[in-house]
Structure 1
Amino acid sequence: MTEPCASEQPCASEQPCASEEREPTILERVGGVSGLVLAAVPTFAYVIVDAVAGLTAAVVIALVVSLGLVAMRRLRNEPIQPAVSGLIGVGLAAGIAYVTGSADNYFLPGIWISLLCAIACTVSVLVRRPVVGVIWNLLRSSGPDPNWRTDTTAVRAFDIATLALVALFGARFVVQQWLYDGGQTGWLAVARIGMGYPLLGIALLVVFWAVRRANAKEARE
């Protein structure tokens, strides 16, 4: 009698595939906790070098540090998109600071982007097209639904989630504009970092709740 081959592999249906891919979390997309910490380094380097060696040196160091983060992620075979986005942001901010000759102006792009985002989110709620709902409708697995706004329960949840973003961007603008007007460069750096990913994480919890509520209602129908 022929014996079964010892090297025969179990059927794929009997053994789950260990290499099955899963969707990366938001934290993983930005490089994990280490990615969040490293993202703050160019800003702190800018403030410290500006205090010690002046604006020009601070601009150069901030750009060099940002480039170094891109290279490091490349060498570690990690996604470089977060670092590249950070480099673009630092380049824009540093360029404005250098051209205007004011160290505080490094923070101006972030301050005004926060204001514009707060206004855009507020308008979207007022016109009954909350931005969180618009994005959800575009990304839904069953395809966009032109009549999604007729679901009052989902729209109300998306209103709440969008207003959470209004609170986030509005708080960023008010606090950082106040510090900017007072010339508090050091505290501006602290506020920019502290009101960045930590507050965004809280707002995304509300967004996640709204999306789950809309998806659950859609699944019941």
Structure 2
Amino acid sequence: MTVQDRAETPDHDGPRTEEPVDLKQAMIDGAGGPRGMVYSTIPVVGFAAAVPFVALSVAIGVAIAAALALGVFRMWRGEQFMSAMGGVFGVAVAGGVSAWTGSANDFFLIGIWASFVGAVVTLVSLVVRRPLTGMIWNSVHGGNRPWREDRPSLTGHDLATFALLVMFAGRFVVRQWLYLADSTTGLAIADTVTGFPLTALAAVVVVWAFRRSTKRLIKDPGAPQEGA
């Protein structure tokens, strides 16, 4: 019996339906975890620490070198290439924007506006009564589940999508304020504080909404069938 089989097998107290283990793990991996927070923070801290003392191009080089070293270390630990080296690409793009504009603060510009886009998308999905997390849950489970007709499921995804909206909006407001205040150090700190911690809190609500919909709308294959 596989791990996933055990997760979906009913216990002695009655049927139990849970999200597949691989889906829950994917959400945890998406949040990054404490180790992921460290990996994403080191290049940013290196950039912010270097830029007051060296040329902007050198500070960008410090950030890229740190990201590259971390990527090599993660590959040495057995992570796949794209997972390990994805951070290098992100830092290189951020550094390219900063080098192009000549502003150290623009190193954080992509993250700021990515948060704005995330806030707009989640807000629109709530306004049109198709919360984003519900759309994702339905897609994962075949795309034909009546989740919007089930009030508790719809409410759960309203709350989960609202949690994502708060996460994205909080990141945008704080970082944009620091960007306009011309605080590179503040942006580096905000990048850490509003990164993994907010993601982890939002992920708790999203996982809860996913599990709630699954328990209500997907029949446990181990449960007795009517008329059996």
Q: Do they fold alike, i.e. is TM over 0.5?
A: yes
Alignment match, 1:5: none
1:102 maps onto 2:103 in alignment: yes
Alignment match, 1:136: 137
What number of residue pairs does the alignment pair up?
A: 202
Which residues of 2 match residues 203-218 of structure 1 at below 5 A? 203-218=202-217
Which of 1 and 2 has higher RCO (CA within 8 Å, sep 6+)? 2
CA positional deviation for 1:29: 6.4
**TM-score scaled by length of structure 2:** 0.81
Alignment match, 1:184: 183
Task: Please tell me whether the aligned partners of residues 39 and 83 of structure 1 are also in contact (alpha carbons under 8 angstroms).
Answer: no
**How has the CA–CA distance of structure 1 residues 35 and 85 changed in structure 2, closer, same or farther, with 3 Å as cutoff?**
same
Alignment match, 1:88: 89
1:216 and 1:26 mapped to 2: Cα distance? Answer: 18
1:200 maps onto 2:199 in alignment: yes
CA positional deviation for 1:34: 2.9
CA positional deviation for 1:76: 2.0
1:218 and 1:199 mapped to 2: Cα distance? Answer: 29
CA positional deviation for 1:134: 0.5
Moved more, 117-126 or 61-70: 61-70
Which residues of 2 match residues 111-130 of structure 1 at below 5 A? 111-130=112-131
**How has the CA–CA distance of structure 1 residues 176 and 28 changed in structure 2, closer, same or farther, with 3 Å as cutoff?**
closer
CA positional deviation for 1:61: 1.3
> Letter of the aligned partner of 1:124 in structure 2?
S
For residues 37-70 of structure 1, give each alpha carbon's deviation from its aligned partner in whole angstroms, at most 9, with x where no partner exists. 1221100011111111120101111111111111
Task: Please tell me whether the aligned partners of residues 27 and 33 of structure 1 are also in contact (alpha carbons under 8 angstroms).
Answer: no
2:64 and 2:204 mapped to 1: Cα distance? Answer: 33
1:80 and 1:198 mapped to 2: Cα distance? Answer: 26
Gaps of 5+ in 2: 7-20, 221-228
2:46 and 2:138 mapped to 1: Cα distance? Answer: 41
Using the aligned pairs only, state the percent identity.
36
2:32 and 2:192 mapped to 1: Cα distance? Answer: 16
CA positional deviation for 1:147: 3.8
2:56 and 2:63 mapped to 1: Cα distance? Answer: 10
Alignment match, 1:157: 156
Alignment match, 1:77: 78
1:149 and 1:209 mapped to 2: Cα distance? Answer: 17
Task: Please tell me whether the aligned partners of residues 124 and 131 of structure 1 are also in contact (alpha carbons under 8 angstroms).
Answer: yes
2:156 and 2:32 mapped to 1: Cα distance? Answer: 30
Moved more, 28-37 or 45-54: 28-37
Misfit runs of 4+, over 6 Å:
none
**How has the CA–CA distance of structure 1 residues 30 and 86 changed in structure 2, closer, same or farther, with 3 Å as cutoff?**
farther
1:175 maps onto 2:174 in alignment: yes
Task: Please tell me whether the aligned partners of residues 40 and 87 of structure 2 are also in contact (alpha carbons under 8 angstroms).
Answer: yes
Task: Please tell me whether the aligned partners of residues 30 and 82 of structure 1 are also in contact (alpha carbons under 8 angstroms).
Answer: no
Alignment match, 1:34: 35
- Over the aligned positions, Cα root-mean-square deviation in angstroms equals 2.4
CA positional deviation for 1:27: 4.5
2:31 and 2:72 mapped to 1: Cα distance? Answer: 15
Gaps of 5+ in 1: 1-12
